[in-house]
């Protein structure tokens, strides 16, 4: 496995120097964050990001994310033009040595939580999700700032967007995902990029918006749309694991060739559609991290892994889920676990 760390660029308080000091770190996971969705990323910017990482001995082989324009997900008349721009980005990234591109196909909202800093008894804090609290919010008027909320939308735009999705049910979203994949997977096959769709987080529909990448059934359908192994997934353990019906080791064993990227994190399920994020070790949450890494080792997984959301510990402040300390502890734990499972296969 190639251990990686998400880096949000020059404004990220977690510097490349700090990331490079975490033992066993192969590379960064990053993106060009300030180019509007639907535009091509300038080659010089991609090259500069790569050079910055390489100067610290870190690879830049994984992009998270190239965002999919809402109009692609909506199947709007200009969807094909926007798909062509996405494909152009893939060509540019491949030319710079990028191997894996993570993306998602969630309408309007990316990942959602009801709390960004739930206080924990040990004085740390973590992201948490409580469906009742989420559903009590009105996404078209909410003043709340949540991680999955795209703050670039004005209220009016948000209202329009939500209303445009009224005609997009799950079937239509599948159709639009198919159209997208037909446009980009042949390019991936040509340039050698692995697409890794991120599961919907949480893995069920919200606010009447369809969510389709939620577990085994969706994966079967996804892979049938484009059989190339470049049409693969990001196995986000915490996202999928929020639904206890998702059997993560079974998914790993069923589709080993589709696993290009793993977000390894743990959550503690605290009720029905209610959880909080925990430290990475198995004992801290509800997911069997040992079982997950063991299954990955058993299928010969050799892809990219990153520790995912950490708690805020030791007084650290910063981007919720993306501080240095708890993610670095997570990386060290995962590396140790991996060494252990590999030696006892």
Active site positions, annotated? 198, 236, 263, 308-309, 322
Q: Which stretch binds ligand DNO (CB under 6 A): 84-92, 104-112, 282-290, 312-320?
A: 104-112
Among 69, 198, 306, 327, binds ligand DNO (CB under 6 A): 198
Extract the tokens encoding 26.
């192969």
Position 62 contacts ligand DNO (CB under 6 A): no
Report the distance separating Cα 158 and Cα 163, nearest Å.
8
Given 53, 90, 102, 269, the residue binding ligand DNO (CB under 6 A): 102
Told to check if 70 binds ligand DNO by CB under 6 A, we report no
65 binds ligand DNO (CB under 6 A): yes
Q: Judged by CB under 6 A, which stretch of 100-108, 116-124, 160-168, 208-216 contacts ligand DNO?
A: 100-108
User: From residue 96, how far is each of 10, 46, 59 by CA, in Å?
Assistant: 19, 7, 11
Considering only 4, 89, 104, 237, the residue that binds ligand DNO (CB under 6 A) is 104
**Alpha-carbon span 19 to 56, nearest angstrom:** 9
- How far is it, in rounded angstroms, from Cα 199 to Cα 7? 20
Q: Which of 12, 61, 64, 277 binds ligand DNO (CB under 6 A)?
A: 64
The sign of the dihedral angle between the CA atoms of 152, 157, 159, 165 is negative
What is the token pair recorded at 25?
């770190």
The yes or no reply on residue 304 touching ligand DNO (CB under 6 A) is no
301: phi then psi, degrees, rounded to nearest 5: -60, 130
Candidates 47, 88, 110, 150; binder of ligand DNO (CB under 6 A) is 110
Residue 79: CB atoms within 10 A of its CB come to 18
With contacts defined by CB under 6 A, how many residues of the chain interact with ligand DNO?
12
Residue 180 as a binder of ligand DNO (CB under 6 A): the answer is no
Show the binding pattern over residues 113-152: x = contacts ligand DNO (CB under 6 A), - = does not: ----------------------------------------
Alpha carbons within 13 angstroms on the beta-carbon side of residue 81 total 7
Q: Which stretch binds ligand DNO (CB under 6 A): 98-106, 134-142, 204-212, 275-283?
A: 98-106
| Burial 134-154, CB ≥16 within 10 A → b, else e | beebebeeeeeebbbbeeebe
Asked if 102 contacts 248 with a C-beta cutoff of 8 angstroms, the reply is: no
Q: Which residues in 256-275 contact ligand DNO (CB under 6 A)?
A: 263
Please tell me the distance from the alpha carbon of residue 103 to that of residue 2, in angstroms, as a whole number. Answer: 19
User: Which of 5, 41, 111, 333 is the binder for ligand DNO (CB under 6 A)?
Assistant: 111
Residues making contact with ligand DNO (CB under 6 A):
64-65, 102-104, 110-111, 198, 236, 263, 309, 321
């Amino acid at each position: 496995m190639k251990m990686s760390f998400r880096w949000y660029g020059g404004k990220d308080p977690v510097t490349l120097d700090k990331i490079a000091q975490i033992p066993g770190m192969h590379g960064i996971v990053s993106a060009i964050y300030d180019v509007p969705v639907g535009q091509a990323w300038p080659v010089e910017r991609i090259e500069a990001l790569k050079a910055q990482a390489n100067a610290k001995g870190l690879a830049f082989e994984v992009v998270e994310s190239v965002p999919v324009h809402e109009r692609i997900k909506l199947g709007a008349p200009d969807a094909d033009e926007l798909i062509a721009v996405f494909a152009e980005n893939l060509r540019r990234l491949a030319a710079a040595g990028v191997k894996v591109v993570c993306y998602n196909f969630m309408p309007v909202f990316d990942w959602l939580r009801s709390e960004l800093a739930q206080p924990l008894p040990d004085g740390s804090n973590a992201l948490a999700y409580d469906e009742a609290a989420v559903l009590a919010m009105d996404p078209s008027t909410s003043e709340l700032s949540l991680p999955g909320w795209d703050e670039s939308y004005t209220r009016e735009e948000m209202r329009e967007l939500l209303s445009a999705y009224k005609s997009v049910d799950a079937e239509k979203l599948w159709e639009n995902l198919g159209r997208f994949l037909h446009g980009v997977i042949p390019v991936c096959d040509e340039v050698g990029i692995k697409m890794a769709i991120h599961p919907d987080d949480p893995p069920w529909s919200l606010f009447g918006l369809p969510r389709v990448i939620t577990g085994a059934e969706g994966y079967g359908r996804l892979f049938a749309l484009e059989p190339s192994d470049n049409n693969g997934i990001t196995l986000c353990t915490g996202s999928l694991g929020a639904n206890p019906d998702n059997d993560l080791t079974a998914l790993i064993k069923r589709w080993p060739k589709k696993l290009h990227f793993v977000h390894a994190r743990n959550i503690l399920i605290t009720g029905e559609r209610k959880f909080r994020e925990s430290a990475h070790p198995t004992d801290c949450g509800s997911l069997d991290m040992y079982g997950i890494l063991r299954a990955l080792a058993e299928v010969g997984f050799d892809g990219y892994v990153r520790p995912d959301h950490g708690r805020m510990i030791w007084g650290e402040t910063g981007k919720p889920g993306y501080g240095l300390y708890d993610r670095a502890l997570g990386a060290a734990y995962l590396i140790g676990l991996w060494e252990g499972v590999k030696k006892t296969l």
